[in-house]
Amino acid sequence: MVVAGDFRNGLTFEMEGNVMQVIEFQHVKPGKGAAFVRTKLKNVISGAVIEKTFSPTDKFENAYVERKDMMYSYDDGDLYHFSDPETWEEVLVGHDLVGDSFKFVKEEMTCKLVSYKGNVFSVEPPMFVELEVTDTDPGFAGNTATNTLKPATLETGAEIKVPLFIEIGEKIKIDTRTGEYLQRA
């Protein structure tokens, strides 16, 4: 059990059938009246953020969210297939549970599957990936006076903006959270 008076950033607990994570909290003791805890909470499954006030004595069940490294195997069109690198147990994940940043993931990359009570609700790709540029327009000498970018297609099919000096066949490093080019690999 966790008491609202003991809330800390990052703490997860069950509230009204949902798994909530404390993003911000503030213990308030006004001059008159009882103390209270003002919080900003995130529903870890849906991603919704709410603000709520609690009495410091309100009690909730702890919620243990598991993050497990799994290797991405393949996409069969309906489901993504992941396997545990230790036991080779296969886990199937629906397309609706992976985020937009999954377009940078290729087969055999390690991702984190986030689950609660055995039910996977999110897939976290690696923060940084190295991918090969498969298509882009050629850059021209002398066009480097400004930070001009051009479109490029990567080996996973994702499209991003890269500097003019990047050519087809080069490996580049990408931040999957923002989808931005970082550097040559």
Q: What is the pLDDT of residue 74?
A: 87
| Residues in contact with 76: Cβ distance below 8 Å, sequence separation at least 6, in sequence order | none
pLDDT of residue 142: 55
Q: Evaluate whether 2-62 and 65-124 have a shared fold.
A: no
CATH 3.40.309.10 is held by the domain 2-62: no
What is the edge-to-edge ordering of all strands in the sheet holding 2-3?
2-3, 59-62, 12-15, 18-28, 36-43, 49-54
Q: Are 104 and 176 in contact (CB under 8 A)?
A: yes
pLDDT of residue 141: 57
- Per-domain residue ranges for the chain? 2-62, 65-124, 128-184
Query: Distance between CA atoms of 60 and 119, rounded to whole angstroms?
Result: 21
Reported as a single tens digit per residue, the pLDDT across 106-145 is 888 898 888 887 788 788 888 899 999 988 888 665 555 5
* Distance, CA of 171 to CA of 136 (rounded, Å): 13
State the pTM of this model. Answer: 0.69
CATH of 128-184 among 2.40.50.140, 3.30.1360.10, 3.30.465.10, 3.40.50.11540? 2.40.50.140
Amino acid 145: pLDDT: 59
The string over 76-115, giving b where at least 16 C-beta atoms fall within 10 Å of a residue's C-beta and e elsewhere, is: eeeebbbbeeeeeeebebeeebbeebbbbbeeeeebebbb
Task: Report, at the CATH architecture level, how domain 65-124 is classified.
Answer: Beta Barrel (2.40)
pLDDT less than 70: residues of the chain: 139-146
Contact 111, 72 (CB under 8 A): yes
Residue 120 parent element (H or E): strand 119-124
If one counts every other C-beta atom within 10 angstroms of the C-beta of residue 74, the result is: 12
Nearest to 111 by CA among 138, 31, 99, 56: 99
From residue 136, alpha-carbon distances to 25, 128, 158, 178 in Å are 47, 21, 12, 20
Burial of 174 (0-12, 13-18, 19+ CB in 10 A): buried
